[in-house]
Amino acid sequence: MKNAAVLGASGYTGAEAVRLILGHPKLKLTALTAYSRAGEVYSDVFRNFAGQDLPALVTADEVNWDEIDVVFACLPHGASQETIAKIYNRVETVIDLSADFRLSDPELYADTYGRPHDFTELLSQRVYGLSEFARDLLKGAKLVACPGCYPTCTMLALLPGLAEGLIDPERLIVDAKSGVTGAGRKASLSFAYSETTDGAQAYAIGAHRHAPEMDQAMKDFAGVSAKVRFTPHLLPMNRGMIATCHVELSDGVSVDTLRAHYEDTYKSEPFVHVLAAGQVPQTRHVRGSNHCQIGVFADRTPGSAVIVSVIDNLTKGSSGQAIQNYNLTQGWDETLGLTGVGVFP
Amino acid sequence: MKNAAVLGASGYTGAEAVRLILGHPKLKLTALTAYSRAGEVYSDVFRNFAGQDLPALVTADEVNWDEIDVVFACLPHGASQETIAKIYNRVETVIDLSADFRLSDPELYADTYGRPHDFTELLSQRVYGLSEFARDLLKGAKLVACPGCYPTCTMLALLPGLAEGLIDPERLIVDAKSGVTGAGRKASLSFAYSETTDGAQAYAIGAHRHAPEMDQAMKDFAGVSAKVRFTPHLLPMNRGMIATCHVELSDGVSVDTLRAHYEDTYKSEPFVHVLAAGQVPQTRHVRGSNHCQIGVFADRTPGSAVIVSVIDNLTKGSSGQAIQNYNLTQGWDETLGLTGVGVFP
Amino acid sequence: MKNAAVLGASGYTGAEAVRLILGHPKLKLTALTAYSRAGEVYSDVFRNFAGQDLPALVTADEVNWDEIDVVFACLPHGASQETIAKIYNRVETVIDLSADFRLSDPELYADTYGRPHDFTELLSQRVYGLSEFARDLLKGAKLVACPGCYPTCTMLALLPGLAEGLIDPERLIVDAKSGVTGAGRKASLSFAYSETTDGAQAYAIGAHRHAPEMDQAMKDFAGVSAKVRFTPHLLPMNRGMIATCHVELSDGVSVDTLRAHYEDTYKSEPFVHVLAAGQVPQTRHVRGSNHCQIGVFADRTPGSAVIVSVIDNLTKGSSGQAIQNYNLTQGWDETLGLTGVGVFP
Amino acid sequence: MKNAAVLGASGYTGAEAVRLILGHPKLKLTALTAYSRAGEVYSDVFRNFAGQDLPALVTADEVNWDEIDVVFACLPHGASQETIAKIYNRVETVIDLSADFRLSDPELYADTYGRPHDFTELLSQRVYGLSEFARDLLKGAKLVACPGCYPTCTMLALLPGLAEGLIDPERLIVDAKSGVTGAGRKASLSFAYSETTDGAQAYAIGAHRHAPEMDQAMKDFAGVSAKVRFTPHLLPMNRGMIATCHVELSDGVSVDTLRAHYEDTYKSEPFVHVLAAGQVPQTRHVRGSNHCQIGVFADRTPGSAVIVSVIDNLTKGSSGQAIQNYNLTQGWDETLGLTGVGVFP
């Protein structure tokens, strides 16, 4: 058993990490930290844990880090790198769910997040944990940067085609949609029930912070230099994310060939499932699970296709992939603690 | 006052037509028809009409058509043309909300809807009522085909740019999203609450029946021959439709120029509003109204843009535009009966 | 035409008042006030008003009150009485939607709202505007206190039976449910989408501020001294309120007798509809309208009954009834500006 | 390992049973049956199971019952007893989730369900599995009738107080609310998205089939003869059930005494949690879990109280309790396969 701490347990990704760790056969939840809500009983902060035997919710300073094996850092960007730097030498493994270690180039980080990166030495050691494409690098890694939810959903849809040269990297249009939990747990008029239910909207058009991360992943995992055109939307649902990728097929490539390649790429994956022709992925079928479902479709004009990918933004898009990554660092079966299927309906 | 009949009043577009006609100063609701639910009290079929003084719900055969001035036909395609043909010479004006008279080419109709068109003579007389672009044709028209909801939402977003040559007709990708009322009122597992809430999905990818209609509208109203790549989605909301149009700017055209052209095009329109730079349209703001809101945005790569359009699929996307079109046939103020703003929150 | 001002137009009841005033044939919207959002364009605060010609959003101090005929005060309690006191002599009529003038007894106000009432002289002049039961008093009234949403919904369900002695005032249990808009427009974690969607909860059990107001209404309108046992719930819907009233029939009274009395009481009412036996009211059927639907049912044990009442909390429960009350003060047709039926679906 | 079959796996309670069995350490899913959907791949019927290794979906006749240890029967009432009777002697244990064996009196069954009970001999052997109150009886039981969702939620709230004489059995008013999954998986206009979202309603007032079952449970487990006054509601949420129980305290009993008794009764229960004073249960906190949360509150008038209980209708209200009951029949730890906490948000 490894002792696990969740940093930033008062947010949604923190709570999802706690939920998953409780069901993990080799992890013992040893510490829970928060900032403004430190001192509260955790099941008062997240009532779904009523009746569970959980550690007290404390500040990061109150934790004895020497007894912690693995840290799941669910902090805002900026705060995450600072806290990780402080405890880095006292723990065995750090799985960071924030944006702080996703971009390998500190300048790109500064441009994207509006602040310099203060721990570039750490940054140079991190492994970018898009699990299915980074298994070898993850084995034994000490610092793992978990991808953003949109990059996870989108890259699982695009990388196989790009790596094999089946789709045109210059013509990638990703129209993505997310549930409201992606905005985190906060008091905000923008995410108030009456302002977000029963309606839909785009946001951050042409300017979302996850787009440069996608460019990086395409370069690192498929060897292509390209800029994805990315438009996210906010939908009236709790969890769930869908990336609808409008692509152009390379010359001579058919949609059936493309789908066959995806089926082949993912045929042994425990969490990524390519649906049969005609079956359209739905976010509700992966709700609460670490699964991803992908569909490949012909578009209307010859040579064009649509690849659709769905995940739960809090699970495969965040805390589930974090657990999967930790399993991989330890050389364990990567499904440990993640065997649950989607909670549908 | 003109006497109005609603054919197919037991469906959602029928009910929306009834709701709007009740608030129209120059229309008197004289007949309501249904098929399987004929004989029922209308306010038992749609309880929101409790307490209103409404005609009985009868079959089409029971109506004295000679006393009807205008028919709003809210029937399924196929059934609509048959019924309209029967009563065509007994009424003054027919506003058809079905798909039966949208496509001017009978062969395209047959290909798209899987059945021949049986009334091509009528078809040749119809006016396609995309209100803002067909005012002159609508004046005095006897038979109006109201556009589909997706074509309405999308064409309002694309036509100004296409007509002016500001965007490339060869590179049009429309990623659209609709609320569940678009599926009509029916007992269907696919649209059961538990199968459609709290999740999202694409459908009819590359194969939706509204796509050929969009091609036709682009030809008729902007003079361009092109095929839109169209992917619709089903969202967990009741009313509302959003078309996210991913476009390429023509050489030398900036996003600001594009937006200025949209502002100019629609500046006097009572129902179409171009939002200021940075403001993103939301479907909830047009809920229950005949309004359309449009935003124009730069995408990530130079020369690319995103145009977002939102409507209420049952109002501007169907029954509201039908009323607007009838107003135009009569030479009335086109806002009669449609002055309500969006019911938000 | 009368000149109307909406005080506190940046909240939900304010926006609903604006929406309804725009459709009122005898009201001209002349001033809109807000506090922190003064200076903003109103259609930026509520995007559903895009394209409408509306007054600027200003502070209350910036309004020339001498040109205002009627004020709809949509302010928080406390703030409302203060502002009303300042402008009272400069306007003809004040319709207050806050809680400040609902309770006629200043001590009860202080107990209930945790602050003294500072304008008891004004308080003594006010008319409590439960429209259907206060028509005579409302005619010519200068200051109208609009009932709370729960009291409106509940009293329409209970008063006829109580006034006639058909139900036992000592055994009134009201289990009520409200949509989230009832909480107002504010940044609050408690009303964040992810904390309020797809779930339900009771709140303020045994301690809601609307309960004493109900007791007062039962005394004033039905002459009974009683305390209603009132439990409200928060439901995952935007608008809508349902009061499920569990009552005991007086000796010898049958459910059919009870229902017949309700039918008789409300038979000429434009906004209150008693459904036929077996028909159950649904909040969605009154959405966005000033209507109330009531059903009367036998409960399981002899002598017990259930009376169910539904309204839209923002309309009949607030701004719609406010307009209705103003119409009554002026001796106008009380349906002016309120003829819209429920927006369903 | 025991071999498990799920009868009626194409419904929601069937799917929930499958989901839970997959996570159960001592159960092997060996057979899945359906009627009209037999022959389909199970993950096509419920897409959330994509990628799982599952038995084929067959008719009940195609199963080799001799190799099955335990049957979870998720069939409609009537069909359930017939199928169970056929296979009863070939399997070790039958856990029935239908209504067929809930009522011990065949006449009451006939009155309530409108058909005679055809297998009264079986009926006389069944154990009514309200887990927390039937542990001794369940041990070794061959046929278990799982309680209905409403009785489960309500009895957990009422039985401790009734059994101890702390509340008056003659004055029990239960106002309950359920998510839409409670209606099962079927094509029905009444449960279509657009007819059930964004609104609420009561139904089956005074006449719900679960009410007699509650009376029976009060008699069997608390020794009181009483009729609960029960009014259910349908809410726009997927899963979740709340029972708001309006009760009268016995003479001299305080709310604190009542709460203390509930805390004491449930203090060692793994699935039932009594919240601290002032904390109100929310259905979303038990979503997807076998947990129940209970709150005890003072009502407005002296001597009255409100007890609120929340469960997930598909889990503790159906398939979760079924697993719990099977665990108890086997003498296993009753939490096997049920350790997951609520999926919140």
- Residue B190 is part of a domain; what is its CATH number? 3.30.360.10
Q: Specify the DSSP element, H or E, that contains C255.
A: helix C255-266
Residues of D in contact with C304 (CB under 8 A): 229
Q: Which residues contact B173 (CB under 8 A, 6 or more apart)?
A: A173, A246, B228, B229, B231, B245, B246, B247
Spatial contact of A83 and A73, defined as CB atoms under 8 Å apart: yes
The mean pLDDT value for A62-86 works out to 98
Query: Quick one: pLDDT at residue A294?
Result: 98
Per the annotation, the verdict on B149 as an active-site residue is yes
Q: What is the pLDDT of residues D164-192, one digit of tens each?
A: 999 999 999 999 999 999 999 999 999 99
Statement to judge: residues C162 and C308 lie in one domain? yes
- Is C209 part of the contact surface with chain A (CB cutoff 8 Å)? no
Q: Say if residue B157 is in the same domain as residue B247.
A: yes
> Residue B235 in contact with residue B179, Cβ under 8 Å?
yes
Rounded mean pLDDT, D290-313: 98
Coil vs helix vs strand at A294: strand
Cβ pair D309, D283 in contact under 8 A: no
Q: Are residues C105 and C251 in the same domain?
A: no
Share of chain D above pLDDT 90, in %: 100
Per DSSP, which regions of chain A are E strands? 2-7, 27-33, 57-58, 70-73, 93-96, 127-128, 143-145, 173-178, 201-202, 229-234, 241-248, 272-274, 292-298, 304-311
Beta carbons of D192 and B191 less than 8 Å apart = yes
- Nearest in space to D60 (alpha carbons), one of D22, D8, D4: D8
Q: How confident is the model at residue B51 (pLDDT cuts 50, 70, 90)?
A: very high
What DSSP assignment string belongs to D194-230?
Answer: HHHSS--EE-STTT-THHHHHHHHHHHHH------EE
Report yes or no: A289 and B195 within 8 Å, Cβ to Cβ. Answer: no
B230 touching A, CB under 8 A?
yes
Query: What is the C-alpha separation between C171 and D171, in angstroms, rounded?
Result: 10
Do C311 and C243 touch, CB atoms closer than 8 A? no
Query: Does A79 fall in a domain?
Result: yes
**What is the rounded end-to-end Cα distance, in angstroms, of chain B?**
34
What does the mean pLDDT of chain C come to? Answer: 98
In DSSP notation, D50-113 reads TT-----EE-GGGS-GGG-SEEEE-PPTTHHHHHHHHHGGGSSEEEE-SSTTT-S-HHHHHHHH
pLDDT (0 to 100) of residue C273: 98
Strand A127-128 to A143-145 pairing: parallel
DSSP state of C167: B
What sign does the CA torsion over C29, C31, C36, C41 have? Answer: positive
Mean pLDDT to the nearest integer, D278-292: 98
Residue (of D19, D22, D21, D8) closest to D58 by Cα position? D8
The minimal CB distance from D48 to the residues A46, A185, A341 is found for A341
- Whether B280 and A202 have beta carbons less than 8 Å apart is answered as yes
Tens digit of pLDDT for each residue in C207-236? 999 999 999 999 999 999 999 999 999 999
Torsional sign, CA B328, B332, B337, B341 = positive
Averaged pLDDT score across all residues of chain A: 98
Q: Which amino acid is at B281?
A: P
Question: How far, in Å, CA of B68 to CA of B5, rounded?
Answer: 7
- Measured N-to-C along each axis, helices C210-222 and C149-163 cross at an angle, to the nearest 10 degrees, of 30
Q: Is residue D344 part of a domain?
A: no
Q: How high does pLDDT run on average in chain B?
A: 98
| Nearest-CA distance A81 → chain B (Å) | 28
Chain A, 128 to 167: residues with Cβ < 8 Å from chain B are: none
* Residue B201: φ, ψ to 5°: -165, 150
Show Cβ contacts of residue C314 under 8 Å, excluding neighbours closer than 6 positions: B345, C12, C13, C16, C149, C181, C182, C239, C320
User: Cβ neighbours of residue C310 under 8 Å, at least 6 residues apart?
Assistant: C153, C240, C241, C242, C243, C281, C282, C283, C285, C286, C292, C293, C294, D201
ipTM score assigned to the predicted complex:
0.97
Is the minimum CB–CB distance between A104 and chain C shorter than 8 Å? no
Whether the CB of B308 is below 8 Å from some CB of chain A: the reply is yes
pLDDT band of D345, cuts 50, 70, 90: very high
Residue A345 included in any domain: no
Asked whether the beta carbons of D110 and D170 are under 8 A apart, the reply is no
Q: How many Å apart are CA C3 and CA C71, to the nearest integer?
A: 9
Tokens 């699964």 locate to A291
CA end-to-end distance (rounded Å), chain C = 34
Query: What residues in A contact C45, CB-CB < 8 Å?
Result: none
At D307, phi and psi to the nearest 5? -115, 125
The structure tokens listed for A326 are 């930790």
> What CATH number has the domain bearing residue B15?
3.40.50.720
Instruction: Supply the Cα-derived Rg of chain A in whole angstroms.
Output: 19
Whether residue C121 is found in the same domain as residue C155: no
pLDDT of A192 reads: 98
Sign of CA dihedral C238, C240, C245, C246: negative
What is the rounded distance in angstroms from the CA atom of residue D307 to the CA atom of residue D295?
Answer: 6
3-state secondary structure of D237: coil
| Gap from B111 CA to chain C (nearest CA, Å) | 32
- Residue B47: inside a domain, yes or no? yes
Rounded mean pLDDT, D258-263:
98
Question: For residue B172, what are the domain limits?
Answer: 150-312
pLDDT above 90: percentage of residues in chain A: 100
CB atoms within 10 A of CB B36: 8
**Within a domain: residue D18?**
yes
D45 lies in the same domain as D177: no
pLDDT digits (tens, 9 = 90+) for A85-134: 999 999 999 999 999 999 999 999 999 999 999 999 999 999 999 999 99
Residues 6+ away with beta carbon under 8 Å from B312: B239, B240, B241, B283, B286, B287, B288, B289, B290, B291, B320, B342
Quote the CA–CA distance of C53 and D229 in Å, as a whole number: 54
- Which residues in C66-81 are b (16+ Cβ under 10 Å) and which e? eebbbbbbbbebbbbb
Taking only the tens place, the pLDDT of each residue in B239-273 is 999 999 999 999 999 999 999 999 999 999 999 99
* Encoded tokens for B141: 């028209």
- Name the residue in chain C with its Cα closest to that of B284: C48
Is any Cβ of chain D less than 8 angstroms from the Cβ of B197? yes
Helix (H, G, I), strand (E, B) or coil at D174: strand
At B340, list the tokens.
Answer: 């309500």
Asked whether residue A170 falls in the same domain as residue A309, the answer is yes
pLDDT of A318 reads 98
Which one is catalytic: B74, B146, B149, B153? B149
| Confidence label for B45 from pLDDT (cuts 50, 70 and 90) | very high
Sign of CA dihedral B83, B88, B93, B99: positive
Helix, strand or coil for residue A35? coil
Provide mean pLDDT across the span C77-95: 98
pLDDT given for residue A151 in this prediction: 98
**Rounded Cα gap, residues D156 and D241, in angstroms:** 13
Do B205 and A280 count as a contact with CB atoms less than 8 A apart? yes
Question: Tens digits of per-residue pLDDT, D128-160?
Answer: 999 999 999 999 999 999 999 999 999 999 999
D198–B197 C-beta distance less than 8 A: no
Residue pLDDT, tens place only, B85-118: 999 999 999 999 999 999 999 999 999 999 999 9
Strands (E) across chain B are located at: 2-7, 27-33, 57-58, 70-73, 93-96, 127-128, 143-145, 173-178, 201-202, 229-234, 241-248, 272-274, 292-298, 304-311
Q: Per-residue DSSP letters for C40-70?
A: S-HHHHSGGGTT-----EE-GGGS-GGG-SE
Check whether residue D55 and residue D193 sit in a common domain.
no
Spatial neighbors of C286 by CB under 8 A, at least 6 apart, are: B48, C240, C292, C293, C310, C311, C312, C315, C316, C342
In the block, tokens 């690319």 appear at B304
Q: Please check whether residues D159 and D192 belong to one and the same domain.
A: yes
A37, A12 Cβ separation under 8 angstroms: no
Looking at residue D300, what DSSP letter applies? S
The model's confidence at residue D221, banded by pLDDT at 50, 70 and 90, is very high
Q: Is residue A53 part of a domain?
A: yes
Determine the pLDDT at residue A66: 97
Which run of H or E residues covers position D261? helix D255-266
Separation CA B107–CA B101 (nearest Å): 12
Determine whether the interchain pair D194/B191 forms a contact, defined as Cβ–Cβ distance below 8 Å.
yes
Q: Which two tokens stand for residue D23?
A: 């996570």
By residue count, chain B amounts to: 345
Mean pLDDT value across residues C98-109: 98
Determine contact, residues C319/C16, Cβ cutoff 8 Å. Answer: yes
Any chains having at least 3 CB pairs less than 8 A from chain B are A, C, D
Distance, in Å, from the CA atom of C247 to the CA atom of A329, rounded to the nearest integer, reads 64
Q: Do A67 and A167 reside in the same domain of the chain? A: no
Tell me the C-alpha distance between A277 and A298, whole Å.
10
A192/A60 same-domain check:
no
Domain identity same for A31 and A120: yes
Do D176 and D300 lie in one domain? The reply is yes
D306 touching C (Cβ < 8 Å):
yes
* Residues C223/C113, Cβ–Cβ less than 8 Å: no
Answer whether residue D319 is part of any domain.
no
Residue C334 lies in a domain: no
Rounded to whole angstroms, what are the CA distances from A342 to A1, B160, C65, D338?
A: 27, 44, 59, 15
- Domain tally for chain A? 2
Give mean pLDDT, residues D50-66.
Answer: 97
CA distance C271 to C293: 8
